[in-house]
Chains A and B, each alone.
Chain A
């Protein structure tokens, strides 16, 4: 490019270390005024850290930052906000019981301090902004009542209300349907049109290519390269992201489905707040097949997972595993029925950080032979078991007596996988199995899942990563607001059709019962 104007943001030589890891190892980054600049990289590459440094949430150990031509050093977010930066985090930073107006005003000086700002003043200003950027919202609505897309709009409005010229969007599409994503693209165009500059963090190639003007790829804390979007493609970007040729498809043969091993009939359940989370869900999973549940997060997937695992009671419906009917009382009594579960909440459900790896690997079986002998724990047997599993599943640890909390995300997930598969299940419930994992760990988990499928295990895969669902599943069921919108054969799938179902359209007749 020739005669580039002065960048609005320049970061040089940023180094940021945390105990045990260097998240940013000398990163250079710049943002041109009026551009959409994507930061691409897989989990753990350092993209969020870099932007958190820019936004003042972390202090860089080394390096310099310039904003609008002047050297700056933000000590906290308030500083950054004052200088015209705004950030929309992946997990919304909203106070759920507050109204939209209260959330937007939080931290802002009030015209009539110490009293809160006059509601009408706030609403007037919000109305003007809504108009200007096409972000309609009701200021007096309580945030917890809003949809995810609406909450995201509140976040963007919050940044604009505070006078942001530079907007940082951290993984904005994790919670959007494909259609909502199109809407967000429109909003981004509008923002740029009004003179804003945008940094867009993502690990999804398709979105990066669709939204950005330039892409900076990061890997292991360093910048691999910066390219103009129109001069690159998916394969090239993937290669930069991972450093080698990437196989974007999971190698798997045809599935040979056998008898039905997991069967749900008309299951309904409530969420923690007492609202309906599952409505009349019926689903069958056969031996030797992978059924993927696609859907945007928050449409009942967690509740479905909890009901099947026996952690949440159902208000209605039946479930049977391997032809044994099970009581859906939510008392967690499903050990021994042949079901294994890789939980979506690794640390809240799957493993104990304070326990050793050996202890974690026998969590459900600790009272059985050989781990308990005549009433006493048999630590020898636990150790042997652990050594075997750790080797088989490539879990990198100095010792099996290490605290599980010291494992990296990938190794921890492999440990959970090892434990669950060592229970020799006939049905496997895998929820978000590769969340937060790096590429080699993801490949490992995918391979293992296909292996299990080929060995005749019935696998129910719940994932918000559509790519993963498409790559692994033999049949795909789409969930929306607690209902199964339809079940499709993966071989003949149309992403558009799935997208529409994820957004609530196109419910096929007789959906939820075995199709095809």
Chain B
């Protein structure tokens, strides 16, 4: 492999720009799951939620982009993704909060359900994989994007990237500085304390789950509507599961989720670039592209290992995954 192709500014800029972009869907899902898990609900169906959000967003964007609403069709698609995510979230909440079913089993089943429904809906509408959405244009932030290197990397993205960064701040603020955030956090640590303080634990958990799945659905839609601009089976590539792992890596804090997602984005970006550069195939001394594709998954395991050094896993919300019976305290 020709290393001189890699060690130059153009490559580095392209790499980090891609890393930021690729981090967005996973980051959104991670943010959403952080909110959900802080309230004590473990939504392992995240991957399924992303698929449902992705397919819904794609369909809405695609079918509207030829008509009178073409101008905002992509945005409507993104909103549809969030809404679809919330619908899935309703199912998650009913099982986890009202029915008090085992959250692990329910989550895994919902992933299969989400994939199945998503693929089915797509296949119903399309017989091929050639449908494409228009995507969103890159918006160069005035002035800031002129800064050499940094400006290229940080300020030349489409709107969803900027929105996502904003959302990181928003989620942080929401959790730590508002009464709703306090309620959510209390219910995930000691629901009895919440109930005896007058909170309706179930309502808080429903809210947290719906917010979380809306974000995840939005993330799935970003991937299909804006980034890849298509949909096919398996398009999520396990991002929902990686998000679940990133929540642990981020110690349930939005700020650290940003770091984790960027690492993932970087791994994803590396894999694309090197694949493009190196000679794929029977050449000697090249890295087989399958191993590059493995990078994100290996990285996820390493990230979890990094967090597990001390005795006892990281401090999760105290009652994560445990259903609550009203009046049981």
Contacts and interface: CB of A to CB of B under 8 A. Distances in A.
Contacts of A137: none
B196 A57 contact: yes
A76 interface: yes
Interface stretch (A88-96, A181-189, A251-259): A88-96
B178 interface: yes
Interface string A287-306: 00000000000000000000
Nearest to B188: A95
A272 B182 CA distance: 26
Interface string A62-98: 0000000000000011100110000101010111111
Contact of A76 (B179, B192, B198, B312): B198
Contacts of A105: 182
Interface string B187-200: 00110111111111
A81 B198 contact: yes
B180 interface: yes
B190 A93 contact: yes
Contacts of B312: 272
B194 A114 contact: no
B178 A116 contact: yes
Nearest to B197: A107
Nearest to B195: A77
A1 interface: no
B193 A95 contact: yes
B179 A95 contact: no
Contact of A96 (B177, B190, B327): B190
A114 B329 CA distance: 26
A95 B196 contact: no
A216 interface: no
Chain B, interface residues (CB within 8 Å), range: 20 to 34
Contacts of A78: 198-200
A57 B198 contact: no
B185 interface: yes
Contact of A106 (B177, B199, B311, B329): B199
A57 B179 CA distance: 22
A114 B197 contact: no
Contacts of A58: 327
Given A58-B327, A106-B186, A272-B312, A113 B193 contact: no
Of B189, B192, B312, B327, chain A has the most CB atoms within 10 Å of the CB of B327
Interface string A153-185: 000001000000000000000000000000000
Nearest to B198: A78
Chain A, interface residues (CB within 8 Å), range: 20 to 34
Interface string A104-115: 011110100111
Interface in B278-329: 311-312, 318, 327, 329
B133 interface: no
A102 interface: yes
B183 interface: yes
Contacts of A108: 197-198
Contacts of B186: 95, 98, 106
Interface of A (DSSP majority class): loop
A30 B209 CA distance: 43
Given A95-B190, A98-B186, A116 B177 contact: yes
Interface string B52-65: 00000000000000
B193 A106 contact: yes
A113 B186 CA distance: 17
B329 A115 contact: no
A116 B185 CA distance: 13
B97 to A, nearest CB: 16
Given A52-B327, A98-B186, A106-B186, A93 B197 contact: yes
A82 B180 CA distance: 19
Contacts of A52: 327
Interface in B122-142: none
A103 interface: yes
Contacts of B200: 76, 78
A114 B196 contact: no
B329 A91 contact: yes
A115 B179 contact: yes
Contacts of A55: 196
A57 B197 CA distance: 11
Contacts of B198: 76-78, 81-82, 107-108
Nearest to A49: B327
B326 to A, nearest CB: 8
A96 B189 contact: yes
B189 A57 contact: no
B180 A94 contact: no
Nearest to A86: B196
Nearest to B196: A93
Contacts of B178: 114-116
B197 A115 contact: no
A91 B193 CA distance: 10
Contacts of B329: 57, 89, 91, 93
A76 B203 CA distance: 13
Nearest to A103: B193
A57 B182 contact: no
A96 B189 CA distance: 8
Nearest to B192: A93
B155 to A, nearest CB: 31
Of A81, A93, A103, A106, chain B has the most CB atoms within 10 Å of the CB of A106
A441 B251 CA distance: 46
B179 A94 contact: no
A206 B248 CA distance: 49
A58 to B, nearest CB: 5
A98 B200 CA distance: 19
B207 to A, nearest CB: 13
A106 B183 contact: yes
A97 B38 CA distance: 13
A58 B195 CA distance: 12
A103 B192 CA distance: 12
Interface of A: 52, 55, 57-58, 76-78, 81-82, 87, 89, 91, 93-98, 102-103, 105-108, 110, 113-116, 158, 272, 274
25 contacts: A57-B195, A57-B196, A57-B327, A58-B327, A77-B197, A81-B197, A89-B192, A89-B329, A93-B193, A93-B195, A93-B197, A94-B193, A98-B182, A98-B186, A102-B182, A106-B182, A106-B193, A106-B194, A106-B197, A106-B199, A107-B199, A116-B177, A116-B179, A116-B182, A158-B197
Given A76-B198, A89-B196, A93-B197, 4 more contacts: A77-B197, A106-B182, A106-B183, A116-B182
Interface of B: 177-180, 182-183, 185-186, 189-190, 192-200, 311-312, 318, 327, 329
Smallest CB-CB A-B distances: 6 pairs: A78-B198, A107-B197, A107-B198, A93-B193, A106-B197, A93-B196
